[in-house]
Amino acid sequence: MKNLFVTTTLNHYLQAKNAFTIVNQIIKLQNNQQVFNEEFQVWKITKIDEITFSMERQDGNLNTILLHYFQSASIKIFELTVWLENTTLYFPNER
């Protein structure tokens, strides 16, 4: 994925929560075969412990397509759901 547009609302939220790493993880995962062909993606991010997060790529019908883990000590969220449609990342209520 060459360009990813993050809506202004989501961008402000991610900056406030020091969570832009999530965007980088989503971009990185676009190279995964279970992800890159899908124009619509649901990403559910959940904090598991002090530094570990899970990223669940769902199909929009709550079916898990991919489960990915990453670590970050700086992110200040416990749970987040974002949608990626074509090249735009946004909160579900922004649609």
Q: What is the CATH number of the domain that holds 61?
A: 3.10.450
pLDDT at 66: 94
DSSP annotation of 75:
-
Q: Measured at the alpha carbon of residue 32, what is the angle toward residues 29 and 35, in degrees to the nearest 5? A: 80
DSSP annotation of 93:
G
The structure tokens listed for 4 are 């990813």
Q: What pTM value is reported for the model?
A: 0.92
What's the total number of domains in the chain?
1
Range of the domain at 55: 5-94
The Cα-based distances of 7 to 29, 44, 47, 51, 63 in angstroms read 19, 17, 23, 26, 25
* Residue 30 pLDDT greater than 60, yes or no: yes
pLDDT digits (tens, 9 = 90+) for 76-90: 999 999 999 989 999
